[in-house]
Amino acid sequence: MIKKILFAVTSFLFRILTRLSVVGRENLPEQGPAILAVNHLNILDAPLIFIQIPRPDLTALVAKKHQKNPFLRIIVNIIGGIWINRDEADTQAMRAAREHLRKGGLLGIAPEGTRSPTGVLNPAKTGVAYLADKAKVPIIPIAISGTYQGLKKALLLQRPSITVQVGKPIVIAPFERKDREAILQHYTDEIMCQIAAMLPPAQRGAYANHPRTIELLEGQAVSDN
């Protein structure tokens, strides 16, 4: 019940305080496990994803540093968030995330590992690909734009324009363990390039000139013509 109330209130606030558009909502799974891989710009990102898919089993990995904020701590605990220490290999958090996925849940993760201080994509870690391989679940790339200064604008009643674009699932194929690091890096680049291709040029950051991003953008241009 509390989750439903939180969902309704958050949806209402986004509706009146922002100009929100969502593209590719049909790619969000109505059932079954998956990882939602999202670029991270602002504190608004997590609740923004939360309201896109009204599933009670949607939760996220959240940095333990946010436990210091009483309001955030309460909200994260309500949604069953998994606290993770970003400064070390937090095996306990990863086990909890893997178990949540194995039970059929949805899990949101920022592949970059932290909020971007500049509003552009930073090089990502391989944790998302690693977890997806271990849990045998698809990865849904999600690109958010417009939230970098969004909270400040929303509080000033300037109604920032925010866009959420949801890409098609990425499935990690079985691979030889001896090639593990290279394969995980390959899929990490694929996730981030998919996200980059859905973002405005100024936000693509570390993946702006990646060959895969360029290939995806060229494919988009052909489809549009």
DSSP string, the chain: -HHHHHHHHHHHHHHHHSEEEEE-GGGS-SSS-EEEEE---STTHHHHHHTTS--TTEEEEEEGGGGGSHHHHHHHHHTT-EEE-TTS--HHHHHHHHHHHHTT-EEEE-TTSS--SSSS--PPPSHHHHHHHHHT--EEEEEEES-TTHHHHHHTT---EEEEEE---B-PPP--GGGHHHHHHHHHHHHHHHHHHTS-GGG-GGGTT-HHHHHHHHHHHHHH-
Give mean pLDDT, residues 43-65: 89
Predicted local confidence at residue 225, as pLDDT: 62
Domains, the chain, with CATH or none? 2-224 (3.40.1130)
Give mean pLDDT, residues 5-17: 90
Predicted local confidence at residue 95, as pLDDT: 93
Mean residue pLDDT across the chain: 91
Give mean pLDDT, residues 159-175: 93
pLDDT level of residue 105 (50, 70, 90 thresholds) = very high
Predicted local confidence at residue 29, as pLDDT: 93
| CB of 27 closer than 8 Å to CB of 166 | yes
pLDDT level of residue 86 (50, 70, 90 thresholds) = confident
Is the pTM higher than 0.95? The answer reads: no
Task: Give 180-212 pLDDT, tens digit per residue.
Answer: 999 999 999 999 999 999 999 999 999 999 999
| Amino acid found at 162 | I
Give mean pLDDT, residues 157-169: 93
Report the percentage of the chain scoring pLDDT > 70.
100
Predicted local confidence at residue 1, as pLDDT: 73
